[in-house]
Chains A and B, each alone.
Chain A
Amino acid sequence: MRRTWWIYLIAVLGLVAVAAPFLWMLLGSFKTQGELLRVPPTWWPEAPTTQNYDDLFSKANFPRYFLNSTIVALAVTAGNLLFCSMVGYALAKLNFRGRNALFVVVLGTLMIPGVVTFVPLFVLVTNAGLANTYPGLILPFLVSPFGVFLMRQFFQGLPDDLMDAARVDGSGELGIFARIMLPLTRPALATLGILTFLGSWNNFLWPLVVAQTEEKYTLPVALALYSTGQNAQNFGLLMAGAVVVVVPVLVIFLAFQRHVTKGIAITGIK
């Protein structure tokens, strides 16, 4: 018992180092511009104000960005759950020509960085008339090699006997997938859904390129452009903006953290 107190001290100090910037952001978002510039800085807001949030929702169009982020993230999540589980099942449980080749190609693209594809993707999306539209923001992310990999791994762990029994009972192949196997993958679907939602919510490079007018900005794009543009000196507004970007993610993460860490542990990719 004597040995453990300093281990906890280190663990707590680590937690403080991780949490301090978040707390500072939260507290800072309730400070006035004058207080934010004060040297030495204050920790607790002296005269807490919601002015920054009022500005965020009136002068800056954050409700719009929030809605855009939500629409895009929900659509991307739905697409991944549907399409990745379909192809993951086929790769794990069905015997068809080209299965191994498809899997190798999917695995191969896991490693390709986003920056490699975004120029041709931009040309494609622009020529298809999808620049600055929701489909332009959503379509490139409806499936992901990561999602396929995760679902395939999970389907492989399910016993074949279930499928055989259903075949004997006269079920069709698609019925076996939809009614028997898919419901068993609920934990994997939860993991994939949450990771996809968080990934889409935080996605930056693609929305930055495709969303060309303010009505289509997602939250990270808006925040980045605010923090480098003419509002760069409005520190209170930026801190409040960061809070609006971060808090939904924290809530979702804390509610479902087991699924998130499980997915990371299974596949190692965030």
Chain B
Amino acid sequence: MSAAVRGGSGRQTAAAWILTLPFVVLFLAFTAGPVLGSLGMSFTDLRQRDLRTPFAVNGVGLDNYLKALSDETFRKAALNTAYFVLVGVPLTLGLALAAALLLDRGVKRFQSLFKVGYYLPVITSIVAIAVIWRFVLSPDAGLLNTVLSWIGVDGPNWLASETWAMPSLIMMAVWRNFGSAMIIFLAGLQGIPQTVEEAGQLDGAGSWQRFRYLILPLLRPTVLFTSVTTGIGYLQFFEEPFVMTQGGPLNSTISVSMYTYQQFGFGNYGLATSMSYLLFVVIAVVTFVQFRLLREK
């Protein structure tokens, strides 16, 4: 604050206006505006044919929300999304933490090679990954079932099976995303002073005890952060079913985002925005709950 206050604030205000104006204009038009517009639209019967006259539509109150909540496919989509998040997030974070510990405590040479390698899928287009994984998961000529056949397991027809389609997409998501949380865990682990562990060692704590009672509590802020960001990402589950299954078979992989997109495609703009707002509310609530749970222990 010091320099800012001393520097004569009239000139600073003028400079601040010039520096923030382009951002504020773009932000209002393309982020803040649409967020509010979406809320407004969700209470109307806006359809594709009204595209040119978005302000001349009828308010329908909570109809869209009630329609979404009583729609069986929407419920199925919500359940699938919950399934994806509840199984996918712990698996992703567990694998990320294991990889971070492996690299931070075990691997002394070639550490950055492994770090970069594990991170590669994160920066790869999800569409390309989905294309690759359709071959990995293909029933006969696929990589996964070929590997499974070496150990005598007869793999299922992953994406065409109602039971196995979701696990397939979760497997792919975990494979793709754990590197992102791993990097954050690595930064967190490097922030823990060596002396903490040395003290534990002197007190006779084994490696599991040192992890459980010394490292994990100190990592709490990092765990909070990764679980929130991973959770937000997984709640928006869209590209995987879009490219891999189109929500099938028999809606077994349809997600809230995917169904929202389908309703948009059918021209039901009011309904689609109400669904996306329901998703947003869930994201906000889940984030809030995660903060409370991990803060208070």
Contact = CB atoms under 8 A, between A and B. Distances in A.
B280 A119 contact: no
Interface residues of B, number: 106
A115 B148 CA distance: 37
B230 to A, nearest CB: 10
B129 to A, nearest CB: 8
Contacts of A95: 1, 4-5, 7, 9, 12-13, 16
Contacts, number: 304
B273 A120 contact: yes
A162 to B, nearest CB: 9
A120 B133 CA distance: 33
Contact of A115 (B6, B128, B236): B236
Interface in A139-170: 139-143, 145, 148, 160-161, 163-164, 167
A94 interface: yes
A77 to B, nearest CB: 15
A144 B23 CA distance: 9
B38 to A, nearest CB: 5
Contact of B30 (A39, A140, A148): A140
Nearest to A178: B19
A140 B102 CA distance: 40
Given A95-B4, A113-B280, A22 B106 contact: no
B69 interface: no
B202 interface: no
Interface in B226-264: 226, 229, 232, 235-236, 238-239, 242-243, 246, 257, 260-261, 264
A120 B143 contact: no
A104 interface: no
Most buried by B among A82, A140, A246: A246
Interface stretch (A10-18, A45-53, A56-64): A10-18
B22 interface: yes
Contact of A89 (B19, B142, B283): B19
The 7 closest A-B CB pairs, nearest first, are A120-B37, A173-B15, A160-B3, A7-B106, A95-B4, A96-B16, A117-B34
B177 to A, nearest CB: 9
